[in-house]
A and B are shown apart, each in its own frame.
Chain A
């Protein structure tokens, strides 16, 4: 009857919306690249500044360049042992040649300007290395992310978890590079050429093994108008790289954590939402049964949001519906109650009139008025029957009795009450114990037989059939009253047992028909824990009303 299939739940929808936020890591990546570019520019400018500063210190000091270089004159190369050795100073080295002394002078100057992370060369026009200071590998590489005690534990844990992933994706700075080729360090020829041509030149190159990138800046050294040499400052990009990696890792971790927390929170929220909505749906469905009768109320939620509002409006709709239903059910009884007083006025007036001396011809009118009044009284009594029954069901006592005996006795009575009809009783020989009120069962059967006799066509028999059904768990007894006659209209089948519903057309008899008979049947059947249904006979030429009652178990008294 109900399709519970929801194609895409609220949770799935919200998670789908959440995928939009996957764009954030990409944005972050773009941002970090921008940052890297900026850092590189800054590094280049710094190197250029350093080169210029060194050159400034060496300008216009032709004496420094007069001596021949000590360190060989091949095209901008140097032997490794010298590179690693301590700066050549007079105190340590044996007394060098005068030229060497000059080189040492230059070295002294650049020693003062050198930075820890850069290497500075000074060459003359013949590309002889006059002096050198600093090393590329001395640069302190910052640990990828400093272990910060103030960071939350979760954060550290996440970092540790993600680190292998970052190591795979990002290029890690390393000191393990090798810039030598066949035992020689290559000097950047292009920059030197540029510098010796009098231009500040900046360039970058990869180490021969491809493990690091070296940025270098070369500045000319002027003596007068002449370029007498060049200062070359070199540095690896490791610091920038480390900085970039750190920024990226941090950003990525934050985004990931945010996304994780966000999706968990959203999932929880969506679960709660859909649970509330599902509960509301279940309550609303349970409140009204398949016949459209109000069965229970929907508890109004106190939540201040739209769902709470929906629940409150459901609740008020259901309660209004049930008020209307009870108004409808009580209408008959209230109407009859209200009518009783005016009827009593008419009746007592008529009675008084009858006792007065009146001409004989008026008697007949009094008699007629009396007859009409009696019918009216009868109608009023019938109207209250259902309400009275409802009241008496509340405190009716249940006893164990033999249903077969009660039904048989009642059928005997109906044979006297309806002499024109044939009433057939089909019942099992032995007794069927039922827990309930025999008076009420008899009253219920009265209604069923009265109903059947009214619809039965002339001489067709009314069949009262009593059968036991032994089904799985508990034994039940089925009491069916069958008559041949016009079938039930399809539209009415579910509602026949409601108050004030009747399928009779106006012409039938002069008994009042308020549609309460089958309602009373239903009340009594439900009182006994049973149910009732009406259906057309299979051949379509009659109606069977079946009451199913539970049989009393042997333990029940």
Chain B
């Protein structure tokens, strides 16, 4: 049974292009132009993944409202925001509403499909036993490359895909400085430097919520970031 992806996007050309691309990948795609029709259709049958634009025509924050409603219908439905808006405020707001990822429209279709595939994989494997290969352990940090999940001292750290890939890149070679370009490449995003800075800031905050003394991600000014092995 093919997976079903819902696209809610007000721009017809983009909607059609994304739908075409995803269909080529073998997904079943349903596309909606605004919030009411999308919500009406999705209530009757939930998709396997939702791709939502924030601004829906005149409904400036329609995507946010839709995300909240979908999250209320299902706690596990993967939701991705895909928006032209790239301010920290929008990103934080989107992720707080329970979205699994936030992408700007600069993302290329191959990057997008890679993310969608990764999200499905994470959902599929979450219940399966952890495979031994593809697991990185760095002190208290445990990264499961298959399920795309991170653990700190045994507790799960709730990272988005972008954040997970960044941590993965840094932790793979502790002590090596990763510049912003390589972080972007590995996380499959195209953003400016300050967005990387705010991603790193959010990752630190998520780890510090579990361990106030967390300081494994060091800033190397003028170059990038580095994973400090830490004293543990």
Judge whether A442 and B222 touch: CB under 8 Å.
yes
Judge whether A352 and B84 touch: CB under 8 Å.
no
Question: Which of A344, A347, A443 has the most chain B CB within a 10 Å cutoff?
Answer: A344
A195 on interface, CB distance cutoff 8 Å: no
Task: Give chain B nearest CB distance to A157 CB in angstroms.
Answer: 74
Question: Which B residues, 18 to 41, have Cβ-Cβ distances below 8 Å to chain A?
Answer: 18, 20-21, 24
Judge whether A413 and B223 touch: CB under 8 Å.
yes
What are the residues of chain A within 8 A of B76 when measuring CB–CB? none
What are the residues of chain A within 8 A of B86 when measuring CB–CB? 384, 388
What are the residues of chain A within 8 A of B87 when measuring CB–CB? 388, 391
What are the residues of chain A within 8 A of B11 when measuring CB–CB? 341, 344-345
Expressed in whole angstroms, the Cα–Cα distance for A413 and B36 within the complex equals: 51
Stretch at the interface among A45-53, A403-411, A477-485: A403-411
What are the residues of chain B within 8 A of A380 when measuring CB–CB? 106
Q: Which of A337, A345, A438 sits near B221, CB closer than 8 Å? A: A438
B131 on interface, CB distance cutoff 8 Å: no
Judge whether A416 and B223 touch: CB under 8 Å.
yes
Q: Which residue of the partner chain B has the closest CB to A406? A: B221
What are the residues of chain A within 8 A of B190 when measuring CB–CB? 377, 381
B2 on interface, CB distance cutoff 8 Å: no
Task: Give chain A nearest CB distance to B147 CB in angstroms.
Answer: 28
How many chain A residues sit at the interface, stated as a range, is 35 or more
Expressed in whole angstroms, the Cα–Cα distance for A412 and B224 within the complex equals: 12
Task: Give chain A nearest CB distance to B33 CB in angstroms.
Answer: 14
B212 on interface, CB distance cutoff 8 Å: no
A392 on interface, CB distance cutoff 8 Å: yes
Task: Give chain B nearest CB distance to A256 CB in angstroms.
Answer: 73
A367 on interface, CB distance cutoff 8 Å: no
Q: Which of B20, B89, B109, B191 sits near A381, CB closer than 8 Å? A: B191
Judge whether B222 and A410 touch: CB under 8 Å.
yes
Expressed in whole angstroms, the Cα–Cα distance for A354 and B232 within the complex equals: 48
B220 on interface, CB distance cutoff 8 Å: yes
B182 on interface, CB distance cutoff 8 Å: no
Q: Which residue of the partner chain A has the closest CB to B82? A: A344
Expressed in whole angstroms, the Cα–Cα distance for A433 and B223 within the complex equals: 21
B186 on interface, CB distance cutoff 8 Å: no
Known: A406-B221, A414-B222, A442-B222. A349 touches B194 (CB 8 A): no
Judge whether A352 and B17 touch: CB under 8 Å.
yes
Question: Which B residues, 62 to 93, have Cβ-Cβ distances below 8 Å to chain A?
Answer: 84-89
What are the residues of chain B within 8 A of A343 when measuring CB–CB? 105-106
Question: Which A residues, 323 to 381, have Cβ-Cβ distances below 8 Å to chain B?
Answer: 337, 340-341, 343-345, 347-349, 351-352, 355, 377, 380-381
A439 on interface, CB distance cutoff 8 Å: yes
Expressed in whole angstroms, the Cα–Cα distance for A409 and B84 within the complex equals: 34
A382 on interface, CB distance cutoff 8 Å: yes
Judge whether A409 and B192 touch: CB under 8 Å.
no
Known: A412-B223, A413-B223, A438-B219. A344 touches B84 (CB 8 A): yes
Judge whether A392 and B222 touch: CB under 8 Å.
no
Task: Give chain B nearest CB distance to A552 CB in angstroms.
Answer: 18
- What is the 8 Å Cβ interface bit string for chain B, positions 191-211, against chain A (1 contact, 0 not)? 111110110000000000000
Question: Which B residues, 90 to 145, have Cβ-Cβ distances below 8 Å to chain A?
Answer: 104-106, 108-110
Judge whether A347 and B220 touch: CB under 8 Å.
no
Judge whether A348 and B89 touch: CB under 8 Å.
no
B14 on interface, CB distance cutoff 8 Å: yes
What are the residues of chain B within 8 A of A443 when measuring CB–CB? 193-194
What are the residues of chain B within 8 A of A180 when measuring CB–CB? none
Q: Which of B84, B109, B194 sits near A341, CB closer than 8 Å? A: B84
Judge whether A391 and B106 touch: CB under 8 Å.
no
What are the residues of chain B within 8 A of A446 when measuring CB–CB? 222
Task: Give chain B nearest CB distance to A462 CB in angstroms.
Answer: 14
Judge whether A410 and B221 touch: CB under 8 Å.
yes
Task: Give chain B nearest CB distance to A385 CB in angstroms.
Answer: 6
What are the residues of chain A within 8 A of B1 when measuring CB–CB? none
Q: Which of A341, A381, A409, A439 sits near B14, CB closer than 8 Å? A: A341
What are the residues of chain A within 8 A of B195 when measuring CB–CB? 388
Expressed in whole angstroms, the Cα–Cα distance for A343 and B87 within the complex equals: 18
Q: Which of B14, B84, B110, B221 sits near A413, CB closer than 8 Å? A: B221
What are the residues of chain B within 8 A of A340 when measuring CB–CB? 84, 104-106
Expressed in whole angstroms, the Cα–Cα distance for A443 and B222 within the complex equals: 8
Q: Which residue of the partner chain B has the closest CB to A438? A: B221
B60 on interface, CB distance cutoff 8 Å: no
A514 on interface, CB distance cutoff 8 Å: no
Expressed in whole angstroms, the Cα–Cα distance for A75 and B220 within the complex equals: 136
Q: Which of B105, B198, B222 sits near A411, CB closer than 8 Å? A: B222
For the complex with contacts A340-B84, A347-B105, A439-B197, 14 further pairs of A-B residues with Cβ separation under 8 Å are A337-B85, A340-B104, A343-B106, A347-B109, A348-B18, A349-B13, A351-B109, A352-B17, A352-B20, A355-B24, A385-B192, A388-B87, A391-B89, A439-B221
The 21 sampled A-B contact pairs (Cβ below 8 Å) are: A340-B105, A341-B84, A344-B106, A345-B13, A345-B17, A351-B21, A352-B17, A352-B21, A355-B24, A355-B109, A380-B106, A391-B87, A392-B194, A407-B221, A410-B221, A414-B222, A416-B223, A442-B221, A442-B222, A443-B194, A446-B222
5 nearest interchain CB pairs? A413-B222, A410-B222, A351-B109, A348-B17, A344-B105
